[in-house]
Amino acid sequence: MEFNLNVFLGTIAINAILCLIQLTCNTLDGKLGHIQHENTIIPGTNQKFLYWRDFHTQTWGDLVGLALILVGFTHLAHNELITKNQLMVMVFLAAVAMIGFFLMCIGPNHKPDWGYPKISKVSLGGLSHLPYFGAMTAISIMCFYHIIIGNLRGPLMWVALTGGIIYAASFITDLKVGNFDPIKYIEDPVKHL
């Protein structure tokens, strides 16, 4: 499979637009008062309320890492290597990922952020992120599958693998800096529900 510059540039542009939509929704949520203001502390904690741009997985991970994985997938699709059965599996995987992520984020241990500002509450930004999260999870799994069966080789394989490494590094960074820490109340959490 050959590298196609038009597919590459189109893929990068589409991913950037999808990330920009999430960032715009986050900004709009903040301006309309649907979420806490930027650079504030979550009530009852010492933890910062995080916006889209505060997450390494959103910025470096989604904007760069997942874009490169998506390049591998769009080349597979462009070359008609994604079958109808694989698309059905991807829809299932995307739905499972979205539901699992949603349930985790509305739970009582989730630290409020730009997408899920309170327990059991999702923002416009969170809603804009859910389909992206689901689709990119399925796309990443499908790229890995095509690497294993030999359809994704050469430079495009390395582009997709580099994207995976960038995403993994951004995820680890978010873990290390505490962005994924659970909520830690310093007073009675019932006041903040």
Give how many domains the chain has, as a whole number. 1
Distance, CA of 81 to chain centre = 25
CA-based torsion, 12, 137, 130, 167: positive or negative: negative
Q: How many residues does the chain have?
A: 193
Read off the tokens for 27: 């900004």
Read off the tokens for 19: 């990330």
Going residue by residue through the chain (193 aa), what tens digit of pLDDT does each one get? 899 999 999 999 999 999 999 999 999 999 999 999 999 999 999 999 999 999 999 999 999 999 999 999 999 999 999 999 999 999 999 999 999 999 999 999 999 999 999 989 999 999 999 999 999 999 999 999 999 999 999 999 999 999 999 999 999 999 999 999 999 998 665 555 5
**Which residues are CB-contacts of 90 (< 8 A; sequence separation ≥ 6)?**
135, 138, 139, 141, 142
Find the angle CA(71)-CA(82)-CA(21) to the nearest 5 degrees.
Answer: 45
Structural domain span for residue 47: 5-192
